[in-house]
Structure 1
Amino acid sequence: MTTVAVLANPPEEGAVPQSLVDDGVVSEAEAATLYRAMVADVCEAVQSSGAELLVNYRPADQLSVDVEDPEDALRSVVEDELDDTGDIRYEVQVGSTFAARVGNTVTHLLEREEVQTAAAVTPTAAFLGRQHVDSAAMKLRRSEVVLGPTTDGRVYYAGFSEPVDFDGAYDAPAVESLVAAADEATLDADFLPMLPVLESATDLGTALPLLRARADAGLRVPLRTAGVLFDLGFDEPRDR
C-alpha cells in the first residue's frame, strides 16, 4: 500500500498559497475558499483509492499569519467533507523548504515506518483522481520513482519506493531535478499522465477549459473545486 501525504496549509486567509491573489484573480477570502475545496477534493481522491491518506500540515510557527491550531483547521475540512475519516492520519511537517518537508516525510515513511511506497502531493493538484493514485501504485512496483508532471516543469505527484537525496530535488524545473535525483541514486523513474494544477492565473488558463469541457461531457471533475470556481464566475471565460 502507498501512503500518500497531502502537504497542506490550513485553509484560512493569508495561510494559503498567495499566487492567485497576487495575480489579481481572486481575493484573500476567495483563495481560502478555493483552497478548502481543493484540500477536500485531493484528500477524497486519495481516500477513495487503495492508498493510505496522511494529511501533513505546516506548524503554526511556519505560517505567515496567526493560526491557533493548523491540524484542527484541516481536520475540520476533511471531517466535514469526507466519509469514514477514522483511518486518516495527521502529522506535522518538518523542514524549512518544501523539498526538505517532502524528503523528511517520505524518508520517515519508507525507513522508519517501513511502508512499501510513499508519495507527496499538494491540494493544488485538484484534478488528481483515484485512478491516478492507483496507477502510480502499480508503476511503483516496477520503478522506484513515479512522477506526475504538470506545466512549467512542475510535478503534481511524486512517489517513491526508495528515498532519494531531496536537497534541490524540487528546484525548477522540478520534474528534471527529481529525475536527476533518481538517476544519482541509480533508481528508475516513470511518469503519470500530465494534469493541470491550480496555482496561478496561467494555471487557470490551462485548467478552466478542461474543467468546463469535462463537465459538459459528463466526465469526472473535482466537484468542490469546480463548484467554487463556477460560483466565482469562472464557468464562462473571464478576462485576466
Structure 2
Amino acid sequence: MTTVTVLADPPVEGFVLQDLAGGIVDDAEAAELYEAMLLDVCRAVEISGAELLVNYRPSEQVPDGVDPETAVREPVTEALESPGNARFEVQVGSTFAGRVGNTVTHLLDREDVATVAAVEPTAALLNRQLIDSAAMKLRSSGVVLGPAAGGRVYYAGFGEPIDFEDSYATPTVKTIGERAGDAGLDVDFLPPSAVLETRADLETIVPLLRARNRAGRVVPVRTTAFLDDLGIRVIDDEGSATVVRETDRS
C-alpha cells in the first residue's frame, strides 16, 4: 500500500496561490480555492487504496498568528468519511524539495513503508484511478511521475530514496527523472494532468472540469463547485482562450 503525503500550506488569505491571486480572484478567494483543492485531494486519497498522510508547515514558516496544524487538520477532518485513518504530521525542512525528501526518506527507511508519493493540493484533478494506477506502477518501478504543464509534476512516487536536494528545480519532471536515473532506478509515468497554480492553469482546468461534469465523469467536487460559484469561465477572444469572471449569471 502506498502512503500518499499531501504537503499542505494553511489555507489562509495572502499565503497560498499567490500566482493566481490579485487578478481574476482576490486573496480571500484564492485561500478558499486552495482549501477546496486540499479537501478534494485528501478525499481522493481516502477513497483510493492508499494511506493518507497530511503534512502541514511548521509554525515558523507561516504568517504570524496562524496555527498551521489547526488550519489544515480541521477542514480535512471534516471532509473525510473516516478521519481517524488520516495521519497529520509537521513538515521538516527549509525548502519544498527538502520537506519532500525528509518525509519520503523517513517513511521508506524508518517506518518500512513500501512506497511513498508526494502531492500538493494544487493537483486538482488527482483521483482514485490515478492514485491506484501509480501504486501498481510502483511495484515495478522505483519512481513514478505524473507530468503537468511547464515541466511540473502533479504526482511523484518513490520506492527508493533519491538525492532530493533541489530535486524540484524546473523542469521538475526532468530533474526528478535524472535523479532517479543517477540512483539506478527505473522511472514510469502517469498520464499528463493539470495543476492549478496560476491564471494560465485556469485556461486548461476550467473547460476540462466543465466538460467532465457535463459528461457525468468524475470531477473534484468542491473545486468544481467553487470555480462555478465564482463565475470563472474561459471564452474565445478572437481565437485566443481568455479567462473571465461572469458577474451576471442569471
With normalisation by structure 1, the TM-score equals: 0.96
C-alpha spacing 1:147/1:67, structure 2 compared with 1 (3 Å): farther
Matched, 1:21 2:12: no
- Any stretches of 5+ residues in structure 2 without a counterpart? 236-242, 246-250
Matched, 1:61 2:60: yes
CA distance in 2, matches of 1:197, 1:134: 19
Q: Is the 8 A contact 2:97 2:165 kept in 1?
A: yes
Deviation, 1:25, is: 2.0
Partner amino acid for 2:5? A
Aligned residues: 238
CA distance in 2, matches of 1:130, 1:80: 20
Structure 1 match to 2:30: 31
The aligned runs of 1:1-240 (5 Å cut-off) are 1-22=1-22, 24-63=23-62, 65-235=63-233, 237=235, 238-239=243-244
Question: More strand by proportion, 1 or 2?
Answer: 2
CA RMSD for the aligned pairs? Answer: 1.2
Give the SS at the match of 2:116.
Answer: strand
Give the SS at the match of 2:232.
Answer: coil
Give the SS at the match of 2:16.
Answer: coil
Give the SS at the match of 1:120.
Answer: strand
Higher-Rg member (1/2) = 2
Q: Deviation above 2 Å: which 4+ runs of structure 1?
A: 235-240
CA distance in 1, matches of 2:234, 2:226: 13
With normalisation by structure 2, the TM-score equals: 0.92
Structure 1 match to 2:240: none
Of all paired residues, the percent bearing the same amino acid is 61
Provide Cα deviations, 1:186-234, integer angstroms capped at 9, x if missing partner: 1000000111110001100111111111111111110100011001101
